[in-house]
Amino acid sequence: MNTLRLLYTFFRVNVLSETAYRVNFFVQLFQSLLELGTSLAGLAVIFSFTDSLGGWGVDEMLALVGVYFLIGGLISLFIQPGMSALIDSVRDGTLDFMLTKPEDSQLLVSIQRVAIFSIIDLLLGMGVLIAALVRLGGRIGSGEALAFAGTLLAGGIIVYSFWLILASLSFWFVRVENLLEIFRSMYEAGRWPVSLYPGWLRFGLTFIVPVAFATTIPAQALTGRLNGWTFLGAAGLAVVLFILGRLIWRLGLRRYSGASA
């Protein structure tokens, strides 16, 4: 209950401070629509030459674009702002203010910043997903819907934990922003099903940088082409990474000495 209240409070403060810059909303809306339009036009170009890309039909690719925007929106809505703020505050020593508050510090750090206008990406992602669902029509049963919800949740947790682990490295190293940048540029590859890629690249995008779990696997679940093992693997990885993230966060905190006085 307390957690929810905290979430709400942080959310409200962030919304208040961001809505002071109203033009930003329209700029973000313009940029998001442009990016989505680009994605869809790109698909149109490719599917004017073929009706299947490595076994993915156009509607299934549409679902993938939806998931890509949804998770991308989640990242820029709160994961990236929070984690960038964490890295800055470790360097400046302002993390002290978080640690002295009587709440779980990992939770506070994770929800401290919300780039509220990025919610546009999230909504556009949902819109595209719904459009894809309508077009796929009767092929989605309750099994697929459940598997999709499960893998999407797992994907979200995996991405969050991965970012937390990278950001926590700032307790040991000074410049880790670069690692986050690398993730952002690798995430671009998630626009396409990882099954297209040759083995070495697929391996990298699955196990070194878990892009596949964030985009391809939920889209696979939705279109009913996921086997049980992959589902279990995604769920297992989510649990393992979440625990690992928590562990590394704790270890890092123990190293943190502040920068005051």
Contact residues for another protein (CB under 8 A)? 23, 27, 30-31, 34-35, 37-38, 41-42, 45-46, 49-50, 52-54, 175, 178, 181-182, 185-186, 188-189, 191-192, 196-198, 201
Rank residues 97 and 172 by Cβ distance to another protein and give the closer one. 172
Shortest separation between residue 209's beta carbon and another protein, angstroms: 10
Shortest separation between residue 41's beta carbon and another protein, angstroms: 7
The answer to whether 62 and 224 have CB atoms below 8 angstroms apart is no
The answer to whether 95 and 86 have CB atoms below 8 angstroms apart is yes
Shortest separation between residue 229's beta carbon and another protein, angstroms: 25
Rank residues 49 and 229 by Cβ distance to another protein and give the closer one. 49
Shortest separation between residue 186's beta carbon and another protein, angstroms: 7
Rank residues 34 and 243 by Cβ distance to another protein and give the closer one. 34
For 53, phi and psi rounded to 5 degrees? -115, 100
Rank residues 82 and 193 by Cβ distance to another protein and give the closer one. 193
The answer to whether 194 and 53 have CB atoms below 8 angstroms apart is no
Question: Closest by alpha carbon to 52, among 193, 189, 187, 188?
Answer: 193
Q: Does residue 32 sit in helix, strand or coil? A: helix
Length of the chain: 261
**167-205 in b/e burial notation, b at 16+ Cβ within 10 A?**
bbbbbeeeebbebbeebeeebebbbbbbeebeeeebebb
- State how far the Cα of 190 lies from the Cα of 187, in Å rounded to an integer: 5
Q: Which residues pair with 155 in a beta bridge?
A: none
Rank residues 2 and 178 by Cβ distance to another protein and give the closer one. 178
Shortest separation between residue 208's beta carbon and another protein, angstroms: 12
Shortest separation between residue 255's beta carbon and another protein, angstroms: 22
Rank residues 44 and 134 by Cβ distance to another protein and give the closer one. 44
